[in-house]
């Protein structure tokens, strides 16, 4: 009698598991097959390991990695980049056709009204922030 109960239990449990797998392989209600992706998705959730990313604060840079960066085009985008770059401790030089000398001074940026004068400073990096519509 115990053997029959054990066999019945095994058959019933196995049948339940098979039905569960089969229902996952069938359509997911919108006509698309959910089958293997659902099974893979279920398995991948089991093996995912949480990873906590801790960003490194960029703060300021040391003197050896400090750059002299020129920004050609000191409009909205150029000023946005300059704020970020100055905050990171780099030296920023700027040139634009429009006079932004007051804005640059408040930001701690050296402003040049002549592109030749800017180039005489020999920047290590030059960022072109000019409009594609006006140049």
* DSSP string computed for 10-75: HHHHHHHHHHHHHHHHSB-SSSSB-HHHHHHHHHHHHH-------PPP-----GGG--EEEEE--S
**Residue 54 resides in a domain:** no
Q: Which of 34, 3, 9 is nearest to 21 (CA)?
A: 34
Q: What six digits make up the tokens of 135?
A: 């140049």
Which residue range is the domain that position 81 belongs to? 63-128
- Quote the strand ranges of the chain, DSSP E: 68-72, 91-95, 110-112, 125-128
Phi/psi of residue 93, nearest 5 degrees: -115, 140
**Residue 52 resides in a domain:** no
Per cent of the chain over pLDDT 70 is: 56
Give the strand pairing for 125-128 and 110-112: unpaired
Within 10 angstroms of residue 6's Cβ, the number of other Cβ atoms is 10
**Residue 18 resides in a domain:** yes
Question: CA 41: distance to chain centroid?
Answer: 25
Confidence of residue 65 (pLDDT cuts 50, 70, 90): confident
Q: How far apart are CA 66 and CA 26, in angstroms?
A: 60
Whether the CB-CB separation of 92 and 111 falls below 8 Å is answered with no
Give the mean pLDDT of the chain.
78
- Domain of 77: which CATH number? 3.40.50.720
What pLDDT does residue 120 have? 97
- Total structural domains in the chain? 2
Residues 73, 29 share a domain: no
Q: How far apart are CA 28 and CA 114, in angstroms?
A: 66
Residues 83, 39 share a domain: no
The model's pLDDT over 31-46, given as tens digits with 9 standing for 90+, comes to 555 545 555 555 555 5
**Residue 55 resides in a domain:** no
The model's pLDDT over 85-123, given as tens digits with 9 standing for 90+, comes to 999 999 999 999 999 999 999 999 999 999 999 999 999
């Amino acid at each position: 009698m115990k053997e029959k109960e054990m066999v019945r239990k095994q058959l019933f449990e196995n049948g339940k598991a098979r039905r569960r797998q089969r229902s996952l392989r069938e359509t997911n209600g919108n006509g698309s097959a959910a089958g293997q992706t659902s099974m893979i998705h279920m398995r991948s959730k089991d093996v995912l390991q949480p990873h906590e990313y801790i960003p490194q604060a960029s703060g300021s840079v040391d003197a050896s990695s400090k750059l002299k960066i020129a920004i050609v085009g000191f409009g909205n985008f150029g000023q946005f980049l300059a704020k970020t770059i100055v905050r990171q401790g780099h030296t920023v030089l700027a040139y634009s056709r429009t006079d932004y000398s007051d804005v640059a001074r408040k930001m701690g940026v050296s402003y040049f009204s002549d592109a030749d004068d800017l180039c005489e400073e020999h920047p290590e990096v030059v960022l072109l922030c000019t409009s594609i519509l006006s140049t």
